[in-house]
Structure 1
Amino acid sequence: MTALDRPFDLRPLDPVRSIKMKLGLVVFASLAVGLLVATVSLQLVGTGTWWALAAAMTAALVLTQVLAHGMTSPLRQMTAAAAAMAAGRPAPPVATSSRDEVGRLARAFTGMAAELAAADAQRRALLADVAHELRTPVAALRAELENLVDGVRPADGPALAQTLAQAERLGALVEDLLDLARAEGTDGLVDPALVDVGALADDVARQVAAAHGVPPVVVLVAPDLAVWADEARLRQVLTNLLDNAVRHGSRDGRVAVVGQPAEDGGVVLEVQDDGPGIPAGERDAVFERFRSGTTPGAATSTGGTGLGLAIARWAVQLHGGRIGVVPSGPGCTVRVELPARPRRAGA
């Protein structure tokens, strides 16, 4: 609202819930004021008929302008806010106390502008995070290759292994970014089917342990436990959770997958490790993008891209389930709750 708007921005009709009722009241008030002014002019002041008619019309127009100015104030504010958004500037909030259709539109516009601003901030943060995450493996890979090309270091097994490790980390980041892009552009399950949870957990646990060269992951899944789910997405969830547990667990420590049926017919899965755990204030934040780092006492440098848990949360929510870090003893426990039936595509 500009300084010129404020002195005339009277809104006595804001409590009225209908714009049609407001227009009717404006017409009625204008006619009433016009008749009153005409009567006063003719009977008390004694002006001529034409002067009384002119005074009545002027008074009616002034009252209409005052009331209409307040009614259309949110529209002017939305126009200014839309122009600011088009120019790439933050949209100012639309101030209104109107309860009619224009007021509801103004509040919806303010909410939309806030969501767009938040989405733009997230996009900028994501670009910055991606650039930061890509810079480290690319710089390390370039340094290794420069040393090999310049003859500073011979192209022996350890040098090539380090180069391959950096290339693999870069590839893992690209794969996670592709998964995240699919997560943001997909709103349904691809192929829900009855999944043998025990067999799937055994297979994923074996692959993760072999990839990290750690002791076997303990699988404690109830016999014949099954759930309707997208097997590829559920495999992705378990892989990311176990990978995170192995990275943050203690050296040669115990990592376990525990599965039990839920009371509502669904499944409860827990991935447990004996690492340093997660502080209570960080238990929600770990599912945000690019939350990674080196954990003291971990089996290895975490080395993750910080996208695994964010992707796991997306996949679980895609099924209509829940995921979170639950209080436990030493270490960390991530619990996944899946419903008996997943939400189908387009549901």
Structure 2
Amino acid sequence: MTRPGSGLRPFSVKAKLGTLVVVSVFITTGLLMVAVRTRTELRFITVFSVIATLLITQFVAHGLTAPLDEMTTVARSISHGDYTRRVRADRRDELGDLAQTINLMADDLEAVDRHRKELVANVSHELRTPIAALRAVLENVVDGVSSADPETMRTALKQTERLGRLVETLLDLSRLDNGVVTLKARRFEVWPYLSGVLKEANLAASHRRLSSGSGNHTRKDVHLHLDVSPPELTAHADAERLHQVVANLIDNAVKHSPPHGRVTVLARRGAGPESLALEVLDEGPGIPESERHRVFERFNRGEVPSPHGPGSDGGTGLGLAIARWAVDLHGGRIGVAESARGCRIQVTLPGIPQPRG
């Protein structure tokens, strides 16, 4: 398709106006020649010429102003919050390009409005659940229904920590939108670094088990395995942001693992200097191919059933979105790869940027 302003096209507004001028000149010239040959008075020829020119001009002007009126109506509807209206874009001129642009703008605004409503609904739901549980615990203590024993306080602490995790993920989301995060890349050894991340994941699982009793989110049974080759592998990246990537991928894999399942983190040398190729594999139900393009969207929880049933804590749906954001900051890639069993997520980080020659 020809881009707007790329030149004179057969059906462009410029061509139509030029045709109007040429036709008007030909009509006037023809009438003058008729007047000379038939000895008709010049005033009659002038009147006929003006009338013919006005009729042609009115016809062309209507073809140009009618779509502008339609665009004005649609734009006014969009300004009032109605993003469902569209402009007919069947013209092959600059007005057709403008109509397509308005339709694309309406599509984007409609998507933004839908995401905003989903954001409010999801955040409200995520905040309401721990707040309601915390309020119930405190009301029972105040009313004397239960005592402020360590078990009750652990329950209240669990809900408070869940609120803290939600607020932290929302802050990360805000940093993502504002683009205020900068990378602090450095060289580090991969094995001890990832070993520490897995150790923290095990400690977090143990803490959740102790604070939640025998709840559905007890995942101490999942075994975490680290595979780094070669053992002396090094990488160049922002360690804090990479921690967000690996921790969120492990957390997501653990949640979807079957009882006594296995989550494997593989690290290999990438294509460039100090580059890194990571994989996180689990033994869960996997991700359907139709859902793979949506798993890194905000607040997307997917349609894969949890191994623990509908009562399990599925999280906020922000973890994978934050992982993609951190990978994008590095200029790397993240995606769901084919796997014979479970889910396999691949991450590649470019390492040290190469100077452009």
Please, what TM-score do these two structures have when normalized by structure 2?
0.81
Q: Which residue of 1 aligns with 2:5?
A: none
Does residue 86 (structure 1) correspond to residue 79 (structure 2)? The answer is yes
Q: Which residue of 2 aligns with 1:209?
A: 202
> Of the candidates 235, 241, 251, which is equivalent to residue 243 of structure 1?
251
How big is the shift at 1:41? 6.9
Q: Which residue of 2 aligns with 1:28?
A: 22
Does residue 271 (structure 1) correspond to residue 280 (structure 2)? The answer is yes
Question: Which secondary structure does the structure 1 equivalent of 2:52 belong to?
Answer: helix
Does residue 287 (structure 1) correspond to residue 280 (structure 2)? The answer is no
Stretches of structure 2 that go unaligned for 5 or more consecutive residues are: 1-7, 207-219
- Is contact 2:257-2:307 (8 Å) kept? no
How big is the shift at 1:120? 1.2
Which range moved further: 156-165 or 275-284? 275-284
Counting only pairs closer than 5 Å after superposition, residues 1-347 of structure 1 correspond to structure 2 as 16=10, 19-37=13-31, 48-90=41-83, 92-186=85-179, 189-213=182-206, 214=220, 217-222=224-229, 223-263=231-271, 266-292=275-301, 295-297=306-308, 301-341=312-352
How big is the shift at 1:77? 2.7
Question: Which secondary structure does the structure 2 equivalent of 1:115 belong to?
Answer: helix
- Is contact 1:295-1:302 (8 Å) kept? no
Question: Which secondary structure does the structure 2 equivalent of 1:250 belong to?
Answer: coil
- Is contact 1:323-1:337 (8 Å) kept? yes
How big is the shift at 1:312? 0.8
State the distance in 2 between where 1:22 and 1:259 align: 63
State the distance in 2 between where 1:259 and 1:103 align: 52
- Is contact 1:275-1:297 (8 Å) kept? no
- One-letter code of the match for 1:149? V
- One-letter code of the match for 1:271? V
How big is the shift at 1:341? 4.6
How big is the shift at 1:261? 1.6
Q: Which residue of 2 aligns with 1:10?
A: none
How big is the shift at 1:184? 2.0
State the distance in 1 between where 2:79 and 2:240 align: 41
Which range moved further: 331-340 or 146-155? 331-340
- Is contact 1:37-1:52 (8 Å) kept? yes
- Is contact 1:198-1:224 (8 Å) kept? yes
How big is the shift at 1:205? 0.9
Please, what TM-score do these two structures have when normalized by structure 1?
0.83
How big is the shift at 1:247? 2.4
Identical columns (%): 44
Stretches of structure 1 that go unaligned for 5 or more consecutive residues are: 1-13
- Is contact 1:229-1:342 (8 Å) kept? no
Equivalent residue pairs, number: 328
State the distance in 1 between where 2:241 and 2:127 align: 25
CA deviations over 1:143-166 (Å, ceiling 9, x no partner):
111111111111111111111111
State the superposition RMSD in angstroms. Answer: 2.9
How big is the shift at 1:56? 0.8
CA deviations over 1:216-243 (Å, ceiling 9, x no partner):
6322122333333222211110111112
How big is the shift at 1:18? 5.1
- Is contact 2:183-2:330 (8 Å) kept? no
CA change 1:146–1:40 in 2 (3 A) is farther
- Is contact 2:89-2:97 (8 Å) kept? no
Which range moved further: 134-143 or 257-266? 257-266
Which range moved further: 60-69 or 32-41? 32-41
- Is contact 1:292-1:302 (8 Å) kept? no
State the distance in 2 between where 1:206 and 1:26 align: 78
State the distance in 2 between where 1:33 and 1:210 align: 90
State the distance in 1 between where 2:36 and 2:70 align: 42
How big is the shift at 1:176? 0.9
